[in-house]
Structure 1
Amino acid sequence: MSRLSRTRRQITGVSLIELMIAMAIGLVIMLAVIQVFAASRSAYQLSAGLARVQENSRFAMDSLQRELRMAGHFGCVNDQAHAQQATNSLHSTLITTHPALDFTRSIQGYEATDTSPGDPLTLAATPATGGNAYSPALPPQYAAAMTNRVNGSDIVALRYLMPDGVPVISTGGSADKPVFNFDAARLSVLQSGLTNPGLFGVSDCLSATVFQASAVSNSAGSVTFNTATNNATNFTALYTAGQANLYRAESVVFYVGYDAATRQSQLYRVRFTATPGGALTAQPPEALVEGVENMQLLFGQDRQLAATSPTGYIDRQGTATAVEASLADKSQAWRRVGAVQLGLLVSSPDPAAAKRPTGDAELTSLGVTFTVPNDTRMRSVYQTTIALRNRLYGN
């Protein structure tokens, strides 16, 4: 056999059948790899979605708990104890026409209609916003500040004195128009996060007064009370240097709003504040936590609703509507709220690559059952009960 024949026999190629078998085996392997990749990607998205839901819900719960627990704080004695004194030692010089300045109600809820325990609620992929169906009715000042509010979600307003204050080292002016002096080095404590606040409270263990300052001297360390835009009356209580503290007064509203840019609902906060001598304004809504789609609230009231001392037993739970109906004196009704049940429906920011399984447990928050859109987002409900520490009996 010649060398050329041997060479030709060595370079003979594969047959068509062998090629097809090889391609079929390769295709099966590729399909298996794709399936493994798709399953891994789906598992990753589910895990990431659940992690984001848990992270956001934990942050939302912590934020609301800290704020709700401050309700009723008016110095060394809370608003409930001040109101029980014969002279009603909780005072305010502020006008009463704006709900954000009603410091006689440290907490007040607004119940979205048709969201009482036992009611069903259908959520749309793009929720309706700006409705005014609340009980009690949402004040127009709040409605104007929260135009992106999601319909069907409750709202809560909080008013209190900030936890940190500064001692009053001396006083000036007159009894009805005092000047409070403090250590200027502690100005940042008094401001508590705002650069030029104008709403303050002064308190000792006998009384507390909320007011708007007409002037604040950062260098001298003084807060002057005089005629100002939001003041309606003068001081009626005396405060002694060395016994009283100054605090910044806080008025905030929490709600669920829709962000068209991210196409997601979020937990928002609106702060109402005024500069010294200036008009009360609503700050732009602050987005706190993404993915919060609904907030439900129930309020626990003390067993004793009359003007006598509370018992310390919270034995009735109800909506904001029920609290409003419990007493003719609405301020007294809200002052007997000692606990809040909070329920949040939270979704993942991105699709979780899985449809909600048929027959899966319904999402229910404080008795409200949700029908959610089939947009493949991970969703979960988180609930907690928050004791208002400034309303605990004996404080």
Structure 2
Amino acid sequence: MMFNSQRKIPASRRTDSGFTLIELMIAMVLGLLIVAGVGSVFIANQNAYRTNVALGEVQESARTSFEFLARDIRSAGANPCGTASVASVLKPGGDSMLYSSGGIEGWENATTAPNLPASGVGAPVAGAGDALRLAGARGAGLELESTNGQRLSVNLKSATTAIGKGDIVMICDIEKATLFQVTSDNASNKTVTHNKDDGSPGNQTECLNHPVPQSPGSTCTTFSPSSYLAIPTNYVWYIGENDAGGRSLYRYGRGQEATSGTAEMVRGVWAMEVTYHEQGGNSYVAAGSVGNWETVDAVRLELTVRSGGVQPASAMGAGTDNQPLERAFTSTVALRNRLDN
């Protein structure tokens, strides 16, 4: 008789295959630690990337702002003829600030600068610092052939479409320069007319004399052939509100165009402080302490620049407490035409 030596083991005594509960818990903890480590590395790299991008943005905005401002500051009060004696026959009124013959002027509070937008995009922000007006003139390649008895018109050596009726232009030689308004649209015929009273603001006189206005019967100033017509530029720089609810560096003013305009130049510039050095002085002072704007020979700029150019509540932060990154930069610029005065 054959007997089966294998005995049947009760189910309760069988050894189950797989992981125990303790093993599963240990595995989960280890897995979570690995995921947390990988996640923390990813977040750290992401934050570092955002910070580097924001820092690059801030540095680029500061560099661009200084480049724009320095270019206008260096050429403030300059013209193609190199003369420092500048007058204007333009009538007062309207946006007369932009027709000023002075090369530089400042306000400690941009909201007090005249003629800037009162509200909305482009309006100066209270508490964001100063406003700075810079005037100069750029050459237009327009040389005079003759003047018509020094009154009413000047004749050019060649026809041009660079200027037209209503434009503000400058006539200059090595001794003097005068701002006036073109009152007829015939520059293509080589003649530029400057009638009295026509246009806006219009000219005070038919002459282009120094000083202005002239006494009745006085002789007009002579601008000889080989004098030049130049295009005056006059811009006010300040910090204004942008369309994202933040701040930007704005420029308000006019170049060749007959009407003034506001332009956003660099986004994210949060504040601008400007101080001035006068010839013979030993310190930089605020605008309200400048004794004579004609003696200002250098400007110190301090710009506060913020990444994103928007308010912190709507920004993706890259700095402390997830706020936008903010840095302050300083630069000093000299007015070239006043360095030797």
Bin of the TM-score, shorter chain as denominator length: 0.7 to 0.9
Residue 157 (structure 1) aligned with residue 129 (structure 2): no
Q: Aligned residue for 1:337?
A: 296
Residue 262 (structure 1) aligned with residue 244 (structure 2): yes
Q: Aligned residue for 1:171?
A: 146
The one of 88, 91, 109 equivalent to 1:95 is 91
Q: Aligned residue for 2:284?
A: 317
The one of 320, 323, 326 equivalent to 1:355 is 320
Q: Aligned residue for 2:174?
A: 205
How many Å apart are 1:168 and its aligned residue?
1.6
Identity fraction in percent: 28
Q: Aligned residue for 1:238?
A: 222
Aligned residues: 307
Q: 3-state DSSP class of the match of 1:67?
A: helix
The one of 259, 270, 289 equivalent to 2:266 is 289
Residue 249 (structure 1) aligned with residue 232 (structure 2): yes
Give yes or no for contact 2:143–2:227 (8 Å, CA) kept in 1: yes
How many Å apart are 1:254 and its aligned residue?
0.7
Give yes or no for contact 1:295–1:342 (8 Å, CA) kept in 2: yes
Distance 1:315-1:35 versus aligned 2 partners, 3 A rule:
same
The normalised TM-score by structure 1 is 0.70
**Cα distance between partner residues in 1 of 2:63 and 2:103:** 25
How many Å apart are 1:197 and its aligned residue?
6.9
Q: Aligned residue for 1:390?
A: 337
Q: 3-state DSSP class of the match of 1:73?
A: coil
Residue 105 (structure 1) aligned with residue 102 (structure 2): yes
Deviations along 1:232-272, whole A, 9 cap, x unmatched? Answer: 2222222222x21111111211110011x312210001123
Distance 1:101-1:177 versus aligned 2 partners, 3 A rule:
farther
Give yes or no for contact 2:83–2:176 (8 Å, CA) kept in 1: no
Distance 1:66-1:197 versus aligned 2 partners, 3 A rule:
farther
Distance 1:144-1:16 versus aligned 2 partners, 3 A rule:
closer
The normalised TM-score by structure 2 is 0.80
Gaps of 5+ in 1: 83-89, 113-130, 304-313, 327-332, 357-374
Q: 3-state DSSP class of the match of 1:33?
A: helix
Give yes or no for contact 1:103–1:160 (8 Å, CA) kept in 2: no
Q: Aligned residue for 1:220?
A: 189
Q: Aligned residue for 1:24?
A: 29
Q: 3-state DSSP class of the match of 1:317?
A: coil
Q: Aligned residue for 1:362?
A: none
Q: 3-state DSSP class of the match of 1:35?
A: helix
Q: 3-state DSSP class of the match of 1:281?
A: coil
Gaps of 5+ in 2: 210-220, 309-314
How many Å apart are 1:42 and its aligned residue?
1.0
Deviations along 1:338-358, whole A, 9 cap, x unmatched? Answer: 1111110111115443317xx
Amino acid at match of 2:177: A
How many Å apart are 1:218 and its aligned residue?
5.5
